[in-house]
Structure 1
Amino acid sequence: MTVGIHDIDGYVGRASLDVGLLFDARGLDRGRLTNLMMRRKSVNLPCEDPVTNGVNAALPLLKRMSPAEIDDIELIVVGTESGLDFGKPISTYIHDLLELPRRCRSFEVKHACYGATAALQAAAALVATSANPHARALVISTDAASRIDVDSYWEPSQGAGAIAMLVGHDPAILEIDLGRSGLFTFHVMDTLRPRPEIESGNSDLSLLSYLTCLDETYAMYCERNPGTTLDSFDRMVFHTPFAGMVVGAHRTLTRKHGRRSRDEVARHFRDAVADSLVLAQEVGNTYSASLYLALSSMLVHGKVEAGQRIGLFSYGSGCCSEFYSGTLRSQAADAPGPIGMNAAIGQRRELDMATYELISELAEQRFSGVEHADMAIEPYRDLYEECLAGTGLAVLDSIKDFERHYRFA
């Protein structure tokens, strides 16, 4: 049974902030910026939320599909940790705005940053068992940062964006090795969102949980697939909340399981991992989308070839984790989605600190639990006109009696 990612695209935001500027404005230790390995981060405007991010990630992907191909979409599943309602999934909003077929499953998956992988694996299983040989699923990983955590080291990594993936029996990008996964989960309070406006946690505990899960999932993968070594993978892609975390995780994994010298570890990182971090260094932490932003980065910045095997590690705080694998297919090297995302990064509007703080404060109107809000653009009209007006991108227009209303700019 062949199932995997047929197409992939994403949204990386229309505005950005220089992370070094943020460090200086907040009086943060510049030495930590070196460890963070970030240059810029994408920033959502107040009229953008998890729904608009997800819709805007999927729009270019759907434009490459014929009406008949769209009619074969039997599932839309959204991985997110930025849900907007305890009952109603944001997949329903996205399904409506994208005008997808009504003969379709729709649901939302939540497990911090692991949610997108849970969504992808569910989609692959449902496509594999569908009676329709042309069945497809649309998997969207989308989030929006909560209130900025001023004077913390969380704030510099908070990015904006989403990834959309089309799953089917004809995976032109990545064929998934169905059932060949290593799994690990346990209860831990490392990072959490106890209220819509709060992101909280213990960064040291989160790092330790991440490293533990990487070790355990890789070990289980090797047990299930005898003969596996690090050399079994031409490329490796990791959950990337920030690039520096992946550098440390790769070093730990290769030294424990590869028994390599320091130079050999550095060479393996350069050849197998480094290209996957380029987009994250410019966009920041996209939460549930971060692993698939890293995959997109590898596709556009790496020298990828059909037939290369990929190892992927997904981690979600709380926690759940998975190490799985796949094989690159014919269109991986020239996939239009990652190419377009890479170009869009250079077209963002650069913000100054005053504007960044203004739109961050205004963004609290878009949080879940808001009963009424008119998403007036007057306080940042010039920025809206430059970034969104006339683009055809989805924006949040208003909230009335908790129902969110959207339009296309």
Structure 2
Amino acid sequence: MSEEIKVHICRQKGRTNLAMRYVDPETGKQVWRTSGTANHTKALKAAAVWEAELREGRYQKRQRMTWEAFRDRYDVDVLDGMKESTAGNYSATLNVFERTVAPQRLADCTTAKLTAFVVALRNQHLSAATIARHLRQLKVAFRWAHRQGLLLTLPQFDRIKQSKGARGRAVSGEEFDRMLAAVPKVVGEAAAESWRFYLRGLDASGLRLAESLVLRWDDAPDAIVVDYSGRHPMLRVDASAEKANTHRTLPMAPEFAELLETVPMDQRRGRVFQPLTKDGQPYAPTRDSIGPVVSAIGEKAGVIVGTRTKVDGDGDPETVNKFASAHDLRRAFGFRWSRRVMPPVLKELMRHTDIGTTMRFYVGVNAQATADELWRAAGSKLGSRGENEPFAKSGQST
């Protein structure tokens, strides 16, 4: 390891300047370098500087691990022990890095190379959130390589500034009705009811897309199970099936429990949601197959929740509408319940690891709705105005 390196000085025959040498702990071979001086004291100082560089990883001549060898080792030592979906995300990020900046050796992963990577992603008009996610996963991988002594110098990661707001918004009740009405136009009449049930389930449960695809009536590995063993229906979550990676039993929203009650007893087996193709066959329960269909339904219904940047056929950026997705139905669930329960309860309903996430996205996001609730609770119409008419008093300042 680099901390074992000791640089010595010596005089070589026929040379004026003193030489420096150390034994490479990986190869066992001696590595030589001139000190640039014949003065013993100055040579000792030069040796100390070189030794510090070697030990701290600032001198990288000896680092020869190829990028391909690093990928192979990281796959075996790290990714094989991760949840499949998580490992897939890390592997995808490393693939993007590889395609974008083409590192030949692990030592090529420098701060300058990361900067070039970020610039390239920005030129592709990827969102700040996507770029930040790639950098987070690269940071984890490179820190592991650094701890293993494979990467001597850990590159510096600049923080990507992101918008503090959500990248979508809650779908209103009227918009949700439009989505339900648009279902047959996207999936066909034969599959329409299975998709309406799925959309109602997302809206009533607040489940993330990936969570909804592993929701089951019965036990299975990596599943979220509908549990009727207690006083109220609950969700029993296996650690591998949830973003927080924790075994938990969580409350189920009453509206979702009522929806599940509509399913006949003899059909309560396997996956709760089984949306069908136009041919009447079950869709593969993956985000890549289900997510785009939900977004297509949102587009057909004309439910616009924001904008995004994409690259057109000429390679130029253009701003296009972002239509309602599965996560926007989760946002609608969170917004509705934020008006009914206190933040700690909402945190459990939304299955957030940190209450800060709950506070940031769901509490206090609509001051006018909060004000309406206050005036309604007070039973007073004092100061009430039309929907678009502001409230003001003579002499009042802000």
Fold match (TM-score > 0.5): no
Task: Using structure 1 for the length normalisation, give the TM-score.
Answer: 0.20
TM-score calculated relative to the size of structure 2: 0.20
Larger Rg: 2
Greater per-residue helix proportion? 2
